[in-house]
Amino acid sequence: MNLIGTARRDAAWMGRVNALIRYGVLIGVGLIMLYPLFWMVAASFKPNHEIFGSVNLWPKDPTLDGVVKGWRTGTEYSFATYLLNSFMFIIPKVVLTVVSSVLVAYGFARFRMPGKQLWFALMVATILLPKSVLLIPQYLMFRELGWLDTYLPLYIPCAFATDGFFVFMVVQFLRGIPPDMEEAAVIDGCNSLQVLWHVVVPVIMPAIISIALFQFMWSLNDFLYPLIYLSSVGKYPVALALKMAIDVTEATAWNQVLAMSTIALLPSLIVFFLAQRYFVEGITSGSVKG
């Protein structure tokens, strides 16, 4: 009895030590990974000379100078313009991506069509295609259309389910869902689009939210495409504005750049935390069921 009691106490103690080590390591690694982020946020509130002059994370004399000046930017537009510009193409891009990807995925997952295997393979192959291969032909095409220096080249392609990865993701998700519900809806009198809207879309909502989130974050961070297609500074999105702030003058005001980077992070963070529940569910259930 006593022996068992001791053994049990030993086991409990070992368990606690184990947990301590485990969480210690996790927290340590987590801090290392997040350190640059903390540093960036902290540096936004430092005067410029302090950023490289001191190793302290915490600002010695905190100031809003970087944020205020950064917001004004060195250009004729304030940072608000650039944020707004970003949303000018990101919102249509997200909407078009979701609509087109879901439509195409529904077609692949549920309808019989000649050569379906081949089309699907082709679509998956486009995922593997390096983006840079298409840059020049696309540029020439959009130039012919007279779309340079507009947001159209940034989001119109998304209306045609060009993001094969998203289509693939939804197809996998749909494959894990038995079609009985949709058949019941057909008997209840739905046509294919009504089935999609009333039954399929609510069921695959986690996948849809995941797509929207991914597309939102990737687009906000996208640097290359806006750089290629936009030439007027007044149309620049956040990513380009940040770059501009770095190279307008020789002596970069790093505190301003970092303050703007911090602000640029906020939309992604806010959207992510709002949708976190669905986002995580979407990724896991999509992969487990698929």
Partner 1 sequence: MAKGRVQLHGVMKSFGAVDVIKGVDLEIAPGELTVFVGPSGCGKSTLLRLVSGLELPTGGSIMIGDRDVTLVHPSERGIAMVFQSYALYPHMSVAENMGFGLKIAGLPKNLIKEKVARAAEILQLTPLLDRKPRALSGGQRQRVAIGRCIVREPEVFLFDEPLSNLDAALRGQMRVEIARLHAKLGATMIYVTHDQVEAMTLATRIVVLNAGRVEQIGAPIELYRHPANLFVAGFIGSPRMNFMDGLVDGAEADSVSVRLNGATLRLPRHNADVRPGAKVTVGIRPEHFRVGPGVDAGDDQAVEFDSVIDLVERLGGETLAHLRMPSLSDGVLVVKMSGDIALRIGTGLRVGVRLAQCHLFDAQGRAVGEPGSRAAVAA
Q: Which residues contact 233 (CB under 8 A, 6 or more apart)?
A: 75, 76, 77, 244
Q: Which is nearer to partner 1, 39 or 278 (CB)?
A: 278
202 binds partner 1 (CB under 8 A): yes
Stretch that binds partner 1, among 92-100, 135-143, 198-206, 277-285 (CB under 8 A): 198-206
Q: Which residues contact 141 (CB under 8 A, 6 or more apart)?
A: none
203 binds partner 1 (CB under 8 A): yes
CA dihedral of 33, 243, 153, 132, whole degrees rounded to 10: -60
199 binds partner 1 (CB under 8 A): yes
Binding string to partner 1 for residues 112 to 151, with x set by CB under 8 A, is what? Answer: ----------------------------------------
Interatomic CA distance for residues 152 and 147, integer angstroms: 6
Q: Which is nearer to partner 1, 150 or 194 (CB)?
A: 194
Binding string to partner 1 for residues 158 to 197, with x set by CB under 8 A, is what? Answer: --------------------x-xx-xxxxxxxx---x---
| Per rule CB under 8 A, count of chain residues that contact partner 1 | 16
Interatomic CA distance for residues 204 and 107, integer angstroms: 14
Q: Which is nearer to partner 1, 185 or 241 (CB)?
A: 185
Q: Which of 8, 16, 116, 198 binds partner 1 (CB under 8 A)?
A: 198
Half-sphere exposure at residue 189, Cβ-oriented, CA atoms within 13 angstroms: 0
What does DSSP assign to residue 145? T
Beta strands in 153-271 (DSSP E): none
Helix (H, G, I), strand (E, B) or coil at 165: helix
Smallest gap from residue 197 Cβ to partner 1 (A): 11
Interface with partner 1 by CB under 8 A: which residues? 178, 180-181, 183-190, 194, 198-199, 202-203
